[in-house]
Amino acid sequence: MKKKCRFEVIKGDITSLEVDAIVNAANNSLLGGGGVDRAIHKAAGPELYEECLNLDGCATGESKITKGYRLKAKYIIHTVGPVWHGGYRDETDLLASCYQTSLKLAYQHKIKTIAFPGISTGAYRFPKDLAALIAVNETKRFVSKNNYPEKVIFVAFDQENYEIYRKLLEK
Ligand code: ADP
């Protein structure tokens, strides 16, 4: 498969996608928060919360997988992005690690299509340009070496993120 068709950017709500897995920008408790996390828990239903209770949280930069329950997506990969503190607290490596650990889980579960939101670019205030660059670089690196996932979809919730990803993927 050619590299080019393995990436796509769309604008919209990640919870509505028909993909094998969606990624959740969760917090360390994995027990729900605001933004995309809230939307995913609302759409997946209370069974998701029940499963998350047994996961014992998640460290920043790490990822854990659950079922998708009422979503069309079969799986949810919960990853915990870093809070932006000006770039002095290993934020870029931690965000790269979110993509790496999510993709590794996708590989292990033979996930063909995976959709990522802009991890850390909401309440966690990571600069959008830099976050998108890390997202694109890490996923490109991973898919060039692995058969799974076959397709990566970047989901932009706002026009600004949409334009940023579109430009990066054109290159
Ligand atoms: P974080 O705490 O990691 O910053 P947020 O949920 O606050 O997580 O924001 C992460 C990104 O997800 C932001 O770019 C935000 O605009 C986006 N977002 C919020 N809701 C949705 C949704 N339903 N679908 C896709 N992206 C979303």
Sequence spans of domains, the chain = 7-170
pLDDT score recorded for residue 1? 45
Pocket of ligand 1 (CB under 6 A): 13-15, 25, 34-37, 39, 81, 117-124, 155, 157-158, 161
CA of 129 to the centre of ligand 1 (A): 15
pTM of the model: 0.97
Residue carrying structure tokens 């009422």: 70
pLDDT score recorded for residue 97? 98
CA distance 128 to 168: 12
| Residuewise pLDDT in 10s, the chain (171 residues) | 444 579 999 999 999 999 999 999 999 999 989 999 999 999 999 999 999 999 999 999 999 999 999 999 999 999 999 999 999 999 999 999 999 999 999 999 999 999 999 999 999 999 999 999 999 999 999 999 999 999 999 999 999 999 999 999 997
CA distance 166 to 154: 10
Residue 1's closest CA among 168, 162, 103, 146?
A: 146
CA distance 13 to 157: 7
Active site amino acids: 37
CA of 111 to the centre of ligand 1 (A): 22
Pocket test for ligand 1, best of 79, 83, 94, 157 (most atoms within 8 A of CB): 157
Atom 7 (ligand 1): residue with closest C-alpha?
122
Residue type, 32: G
Dihedral (C-alpha) 90, 91, 94, 100: value to the nearest 10 degrees?
-130
CA distance 83 to 94: 10
pLDDT score recorded for residue 40? 98
CA distance 39 to 152: 20
7-170 belongs to CATH 3.40.220.10:
yes
pLDDT score recorded for residue 83? 98
Residue pair 39/23 in contact by the 8 Å Cβ criterion: no
